[in-house]
Structure 1
Amino acid sequence: MTAVDAGYGEIARAMAGALHAGAGAGWTAATLQLRHTGGAVTCRAWSDVHEHLTVDFVPIAMSLGGKPPSALEVRLTADGGYTFTARPDVAAVSPGMLVFDAGFRYPGHPRPGLPRPAGTEPTTAPTDPAVLAEVTGLASEFAGLYTAIKGTPPPWPAGRTEAEVAAAEARIGVRLPEDLRALYLVADGDPAESGLLGPYSHHGLDQLVADYLEGEPGSYGWEDGLHDDGVVFEPAPFGRMKRLSRNDWWVTFGGDRAMNYLAVDLDPATDGRPGQVFEYGRDIYGPLRLVSGSITDMLTEAVSAVRAGKYEDPGGTYLSPETGLRGGDERSYHEIVSKAAEVDLAEAVAGVVAPELVQLLYVNDAADVNLAVFEPLGSLRQLSINRARSVTPSIAGLPELESLQIEAGQVDLAALAGHPALWDLELTRVGSPVEVAVLATLPRLLRLNLEGSAVRDWGEVCALPGLKVLRVDAQQIPELLACGKPLPPLAALFVSGQTTLRQMSELRTAFGHGDADGEVVEISGTLT
């Protein structure tokens, strides 16, 4: 449905006026695009003489508060004439984004509804008496040590009752680990950061419930969007945590109060322990970080440190036991090889410390490289080759590889045939025509990026059986539409470069989504 105004008249005129004010001199046509998500507004503007324009769009953004999420565009001519369009069915323009299936998830990114682990059903049974005695004893000893150091007891809120803990568990639908239950019976959080859990502190029970129920149940949610990179890396040591972006059975209960958070894992991998503790947040990029085998272990480590006089007293309510809970100099999950054309890659790989732990590798500015040289990195899950002369992607010896990103003048795609794990492939700025047919032999291929590459037959792209996300550039769109083959049933299409809202609307129709999901607004006018 197309509306003439629908309350956008003043917004259209304001966008045209702001664009005219920021366009400078000497232009004949200019474009301003806004993306209104409902929570934020982003801007892109250009003219026929300037690739980027600075436009004061803040007052316009403020006026969009009551409007539905939309892509908005004004096209302006030097004589003051403008056309305005707002479309709720186009996610973004310049770069363009069309989402046809918002519920699609990449591998390792499960939606809510994961199977319930045994023993996690909420019950009214009291906390295990042995665990309660141990946790209470550790907390009591810590409190005595703290009092002797500070001259006052730790300012912990009073503990909760068994009934209150059970009620909280009923709300979130999961029974907490016995030692976490016991901790809440001792103290309902540690807002003063006394040091009871070393560098961390637990939140109040009500906050635990609120955090669990916010958004999707559970914890984390790393790069779950269709626009995200999406490869999930495994925490070390391998085999203890499931390699997932989120889990219904991860429960956030505390953190360092600096945007890093602690969670208990009730759904561990084969070698893990129910109730093990991991960290995620601002300073944890890539794999999650395993902190401890249990909350009881954390308490034991903090108490042992203070008992041995290994602590710092920074004043106030803070006490800092010298624990290993923050981790040390663990081996990073990734490696970078710079100026690769000047490096013997086989020697570089042979010199990697703990190669079995490397999951991500960047190789920059290579000459001619055969990817078989990286086979000693058997846990590699993502490999990025940037600005190479030519690449032979022999990856049969990299069985865990899920994502391969190649930017090169020439690529021998025949070497990719049949790889069992690869679901993400980027072939960007490849100079020689790309033969796409071999990609049909990749059983898990879900995402393909061909930006800036010459593609011999776009019909072969449309024929890829499992393709769900495609990335192209604005110059490739006419070739894709003209290939004469049915377009694939994508979950999302991304288009880099400058695109117009009209082009993105035409693409949406071409992919079988002709009717707008919501009201389309079109307005024409003139600035006077």
Structure 2
Amino acid sequence: MRPIHDFATWEPLLKLLRASNAESLAAPGGHVAGQISGAGWSLPLRRVAPQPGRAARIEDMQDEIDAVERVRSALVDAGAASISFTTEISPTGKAVLHLLGGGPAVEPGIGGPHPESLVLVEGAVAEPWRRLPDPMPDAVPAPSSDPGLLERTLRKRLPDAIGATEAEFAATEARLGVELPDELKSLYRVTRGRWEDWGDDYDAAVRAFEAVGCELFPLDDLFIADASSRPCPWRFAAMEAVVTLPDDPVQGLVGSPGWIVFGDNGGGDRIAVDLTPGPRGHTGQVIMISHEENSGADLLADSVTDLVMKRRSTVRGRGRQDLPPAVARVNIRSLTSIEAAAHPGLEVLSIGVWDDEPLSLAPVAGLPRLRSLSAYPGTLADPLEIAQLTGLEFLDLGPAEWRVLLDADAVPRSLSAASIEVRGNEHPLAVAALANELLALWDRPRITRTTIEGDLGVPVR
């Protein structure tokens, strides 16, 4: 095992990068950059096209896989999750490799060498992830809720099932910190959902799932789908907004201490009992939490009884789409002005690709709820107008715009997180240096840089 800072660890990969990027490396200031993590890698490498009529095979990129695994093994040995790098390689083979290490204040980039977000306040999460359910004092169980009918029906469908004991219920409630609703107890009194109870009989498990209406979790695997169960990088989390309309049966939350997950739809979406319903919902209704979305959930059934009896809810929310959106997007395809986005309920403003004159932020100055701003590089007429947005907790700007704020000592101190929007061939070292200036303002751990030099030799023609 070679350490991550050993040039020999990187040598096979650097040779592949040189072969794929000879022209760009030979240009003045030429460099290549990438990222490697336990989950994958992003590298500017040319791959050999498979022969016509044949699909690509592992062996077609075996050299790449071997070189990457060499680095990944060193990462594991170092206890690091990922590493970004940039390298310059001369025509004679001299290589200078810069390794960029993140830390607790840096969320690594997705598919690139630049940091995704900088967490300026330790432990901070975006506002939607802090949002708790609104109280609904008038919420009651649905008229269809019938724990007795539910239990009788399941016993007929699953006569040989093994149910949970009161002691097991007590242990689960102690672990979750919440009392299980009667319907859920009725369900688990019939079957506790353990594979060993079915003798590893797949067909028996399928029968149980069909009887209940979802892939049932064992009682020991029930969990609370609060906001922490739905993690999301700051760059994306900050651009979300929690909205619950007056006719919504489910609150538009990231998660809730009243969402008790007890199953799955077979495709990764969680099935939960909802004890914190929306204005038109019922206590104990059954919801589905999508694994493809960061917030909200869909109503499946008004009660667990309805789920078991195959009765789906007909209640539909989101009936007031005429309300101004909490998230506004100004770009060449959406809203065409900042004025069109401005209203007192605006929480998130995203300024995207723009082919007209740069925009002024004056129309949104002083808005009471505006907390997140993302502006594509070059779209702001005057970045110093950001100082008028006194409630920002997240800011995403291009390097030039950040430079203006830093030089004027005008970076909003209300921020909890920030991102540097990189477009084009920005040098990773310059971006890392800019990121470190921002981190220094909050006295947060910096991005580390380790430089390694070595000789790859003259490339074989």
Q: Same fold (TM over 0.5)?
A: yes
**Given that residues 277 and 283 in structure 2 are in contact (C-alpha distance below 8 angstroms), is that contact kept between their aligned partners in structure 1?**
yes
**1:76 equivalent in alignment to 2:75:** no
1:405 aligned to 2:329? yes
2:394 to 469, 472, 475: 469
Q: Give per-residue Cα distances to partners, 1:366-395, cap 9 Å, x unaligned.
A: xxxxxxxxxxx324xxxxxxxxxxxxxxxx
The answer to whether the 8 Å contact 1:234/1:241 transfers is no
**Is residue 427 of structure 1 aligned with residue 325 of structure 2?**
no
2:236 aligned residue (228, 241, 266): 228
Counterpart of 1:50?
none
Residue from 228, 233, 247 that aligns with 2:256:
247
TM-score by length of 2: 0.73
Contact 2:172–2:219 (CA under 8 A) maintained in structure 1: yes
8 Å CA contact 1:41, 1:61 repeated in 2:
no
Deviation at 1:279, TM superposition (A): 0.9
TM-score, length-normalised on structure 1?
A: 0.65
Counterpart of 1:63, as a letter, is A
8 A Cα contact 2:258 2:276, kept in partner: yes
* Cα distance in structure 2, aligned partners of 1:476 and 1:504: 13
1:104 equivalenced with 2:130 (yes/no): no
Unaligned stretches of 5+ residues in structure 2: 47-60, 138-144, 194-203
Task: Kindly indicate whether the alpha-carbon contact (under 8 Å) linking 2:7 and 2:452 is maintained by their aligned counterparts in 1.
Answer: yes
**31 and 203 in structure 1: CA distance in 2 versus 1, 3 angstrom threshold:** same
Residue type matched to 1:100 in 2?
A: V
Q: Classify 1:280/1:524 alpha carbon distance in 2 versus 1 (closer, same or farther; 3 Å).
A: same
Deviation at 1:228, TM superposition (A): 1.6
SS at match of 1:378: coil
SS at match of 1:254: strand
Contact 2:36 2:84 in 1 (8 A): yes
Deviation at 1:159, TM superposition (A): 0.6
1:272 maps to: 281
| Aligned mates of 1:44, 1:286 — CA distance in 2 | 32
Q: For residues 312 and 147 of structure 2, what CA distance do their matches in structure 1 show?
A: 24
Deviation larger for 268-277 or 89-98? 89-98
Deviations 1:328-366 (A, max 9, x none): xx98x9xxxxxxxxxxxxxxxxxxxxxx637xxxxxxxx
Say if 2:136 and 2:279, in contact at 8 Å, map to a contact too.
Answer: no
Q: Which residue of structure 2 lines up, in the alignment, with residue 63 of structure 1?
A: 74
2: CA distance, partners of 1:518 / 1:472: 19
RMSD: 3.8
Amino acid at match of 1:11: T
Alignment of 1:291 with 2:309, yes or no, is: no
Counterpart amino acid of residue 169 in structure 2: V
Taking the aligned partners of 1:163 and 1:116, their CA distance within structure 2 comes to: 31
Alignment of structure 1 residues 74-473 onto 2, 5 Å: 74-79=86-91, 80-81=93-94, 82-89=96-103, 90=106, 91-92=108-109, 94-101=113-120, 103-110=123-130, 133-143=148-158, 156=161, 158-189=162-193, 191-194=205-208, 197=211, 199-208=213-222, 211-212=223-224, 218=226, 221-222=229-230, 224-228=232-236, 230-232=239-241, 238-282=247-291, 287-299=296-308, 301-302=309-310, 323-324=311-312, 357=319, 377-379=321-323, 398=324, 401-408=325-332, 411-414=336-339, 416-417=341-342, 419-430=343-354, 431-473=356-398
CA distance in 2, matches of 1:26, 1:423: 42
User: How far did residue 179 of structure 1 move?
Assistant: 1.1
Residues in 2 aligned to 1:474 and 1:519: alpha-carbon distance in whole angstroms: 19
Q: Aligned with 1:64: secondary structure? A: helix
Alpha-carbon contact 1:275-1:294 (below 8 Å) kept: yes
Matched, 1:494 2:420: yes
Q: Distance in 2 between matches of 1:63 and 1:73?
A: 14
Contact 1:240 1:272 in 2 (8 A): yes
State the 1:443 CA deviation.
1.6
Q: Is the 8 A contact 2:114 2:431 kept in 1?
A: no
Residue correspondence of structure 1 range 497-512 to structure 2 within 5 A? 497=423, 498-512=425-439
- From the superposition, tell whether residues 515 and 467 of structure 1 become closer, same or farther in structure 2 (CA, over 3 Å): closer
Structural mapping, 1:504-523, within 5 Å: 504-513=431-440, 516-517=445-446, 520-523=449-452
Q: Structure 1: which 5+ runs fail to align? A: 48-53, 119-129, 144-152, 303-322, 334-355, 359-376, 380-397
**Do the aligned partners of 1:203 and 1:254 also contact (CA within 8 Å) in 2?**
yes
Deviates more, 1:190-199 or 1:23-32: 190-199
- Distance (Å, rounded) in 2 between the aligned partners of 1:449 and 1:476: 11
- The equivalent of 2:11 in structure 1 is 13
**Distance in 1 (alpha carbons) for counterparts of 2:244 and 2:133:** 20
Flag the structure with higher helix content.
2
1:270 Cα deviation from its structure 2 partner: 3.9
Tell me if structure 2 keeps the 8 A contact 1:406–1:426. Answer: yes
**8 Å CA contact 2:328, 2:346 repeated in 1:** yes
* CA distance in structure 2 between the partners assigned to 1:464 and 1:324 by the alignment: 45
Query: In structure 2, the residue corresponding to 1:268 is in which secondary structure?
Result: coil
SS in 2 for 1:192: helix
Could you tell me the percent identity over the aligned residues?
21
Q: Which amino acid aligns with 1:278?
A: I
- CA deviation after TM superposition for structure 1 residue 487, in Å: 1.5
Secondary structure in 2 matching 1:357: coil
Contact 1:94/1:495 (CA < 8 Å) preserved in 2?
A: no
Q: Using the alignment, how far apart are the partners of 2:253 and 2:98 within structure 1? A: 43
| Structure richer in strand, relative to its length | 1
- Report deviation, 1:451: 0.8
Name 2:58's counterpart in structure 1: none
Q: Measure the CA separation in 1 of the matches of 2:369 and 2:150.
A: 47
Question: How far is 1:404 from its partner?
Answer: 0.8
Does the CA contact (< 8 Å) of 2:330 and 2:338 recur in 1? no
Structure 1 letter corresponding to 2:171:
A
**SS of equivalent residue, structure 1 residue 279:** strand
User: Which letter does structure 2 place at the counterpart of 1:255?
Assistant: D
1:520 and 1:40 map into 2 onto residues whose CA distance is: 22
State the shift of 1:515 in Å: 6.3
Cα 1:6/1:188, change in 2 over 3 Å: closer
Q: CA deviation at 1:258?
A: 2.9
**Residues 253, 296 of structure 2: 8 Å contact kept:** no
Judge conservation of contact 2:136–2:277 (CA < 8 Å) in 1.
no
* Cα offset, 1:162, TM superposition: 0.9
Question: Could you tell me whether the CA contact under 8 Å between 1:487 and 1:510 is conserved in 2?
Answer: no
Rounded to whole Å, the distance in 2 between the matches of 1:231 and 1:86 is 29
